[in-house]
């Protein structure tokens, strides 16, 4: 597996020997966004880099798609997680969630795991104390189409 990968769009990717993954920190309007590449096969990083370059160049569009899908499709699931049986559980409104998801904190590139090993990625966001250690992840296929999403507990 190659260890030194450089992209004209992403710069130098850091290789993580422990699990064979790569990462790079990117700046978007003063916010750091981590890009992770989970390489389950030897050629995965070579397959991921062109997709990651395209996603990064179109990040504004992808970030908006992430945010709108999360607000439209994941808000009820998120609020269900926040309702821990309390008498007056915290709830997040659509407007609040849009603000919390203005900029995601990571984009992760993975292989689908099916027999074709399709490339895919997911965008994660919601680094806000009001989410009580939860975040939202929206999944995209390699063409940039949303395929699914979920509210995720970080604990």
Residue 9, pLDDT score: 97
Residue 115, pLDDT score: 67
CB-CB neighbours of 41 under 10 Å:
12
Instruction: Please state, in angstroms and rounded to a whole number, the distance separating the CA atoms of residues 38 and 43.
Output: 11
Q: Taking a C-beta distance cutoff of 8 angstroms, is the pair 125, 100 a contact? A: yes
Q: Which helix (H) or strand (E) holds 53?
A: helix 44-57
Q: Is residue 16 very low, low, confident or very high in pLDDT (cuts 50, 70, 90)?
A: very high
Residue that is written with structure tokens 């990462």 in the block: 23
Instruction: Please state, in angstroms and rounded to a whole number, the distance separating the CA atoms of residues 90 and 135.
Output: 15
Q: Taking a C-beta distance cutoff of 8 angstroms, is the pair 37, 26 a contact? A: no
Q: Where are the domains of the chain?
A: 5-153
Helix 59-69 with 44-57: angle, nearest 10 deg = 90
Instruction: Please state, in angstroms and rounded to a whole number, the distance separating the CA atoms of residues 114 and 14.
Output: 27
At 82 the three-state DSSP class reads: helix
User: With pLDDT > 90 as the criterion, what percentage of the chain qualifies?
Assistant: 72
Instruction: Please state, in angstroms and rounded to a whole number, the distance separating the CA atoms of residues 145 and 77.
Output: 21
Q: For residue 120, with 0-12 CB atoms within 10 Å meaning exposed, 13-18 middle and 19 or more buried, which class applies?
A: buried
Residue 116, pLDDT score: 60
Q: Is the pLDDT of residue 1 over 60?
A: no
Q: Is residue 128 very low, low, confident or very high in pLDDT (cuts 50, 70, 90)?
A: confident
Question: Model's pTM, two decimal places?
Answer: 0.92
Tens of pLDDT, residue by residue over 65-94, are 999 999 999 999 998 888 776 777 788 999
């Amino acid at each position: 597996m190659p260890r030194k990968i450089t992209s004209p769009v992403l710069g130098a990717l850091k290789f993580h020997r422990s699990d064979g993954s790569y990462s790079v920190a990117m700046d978007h309007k003063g916010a750091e966004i981590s890009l992770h590449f989970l390489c389950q096969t030897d050629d995965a990083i070579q397959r991921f880099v062109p997709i990651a370059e395209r996603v990064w160049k179109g990040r504004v569009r992808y970030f908006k798609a992430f945010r709108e899908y999360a607000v439209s499709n994941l808000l009820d699931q998120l609020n269900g997680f926040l309702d821990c049986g309390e008498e007056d559980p915290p709830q997040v409104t659509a407007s609040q969630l849009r603000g919390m998801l203005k900029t995601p904190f990571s984009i992760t590139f993975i292989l689908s795991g099916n027999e074709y090993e399709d490339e895919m990625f997911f965008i994660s966001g919601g680094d806000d104390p009001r989410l009580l250690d939860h975040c939202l992840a929206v999944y995209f296929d390699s063409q940039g189409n949303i395929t699914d999403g979920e509210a995720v507990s970080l604990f």
